[in-house]
A = this chain, B = another copy of it.
Amino acid sequence: MSDETVVRMAEIEIDPVYLEAYQRLLAEEIEISVNIEEGVLALNAVAIKGYPEKIRILEVYASRAAYEAHLQTPHFLKYKAGTVGMVTSLNLIDVEPLMMHSKP
């Protein structure tokens, strides 16, 4: 992981009425982003147990430029436009990677 790496944590709350639709849009956006964008290294989305509407996403980008490019992709814009009425709370937290280690 280089010094350039950009890591962010998103804390998102979803209107329960739209939870299934939101999950579908999020899963599609994550799959496409990691598969086709070279600079999107990982997108790990989880929900707090017992509170499926409370979502946390750990996002890892190769660089600031990769992150900015991601925001302009058709799949991200589709997700953003499609979910705007579903999200009741969004908290974006910039974080510094300390030690990120996964099985290859």
Interface residues of A (CB under 8 A from B): 7, 9, 23, 26-27, 30-31, 34-35, 40-49, 52, 55-56, 58, 60, 93-104
Interface residues of A, dominant DSSP: strand
Residue of B nearest to A47 (CB): B96
A104 CB contacts on chain B under 8 angstroms: 104
Residue of B nearest to A55 (CB): B98
A96 CB contacts on chain B under 8 angstroms: 46-49, 52
- Contact, CB under 8 Å: B9 / A98: no
- Contact, CB under 8 Å: A100 / B31: no
A41 CB, min distance to chain B CBs, angstroms:
5
Pairs of residues from A and B, 5 with the lowest C-beta to C-beta distance, nearest first: A46-B95, A42-B102, A49-B94, A45-B98, A34-B101
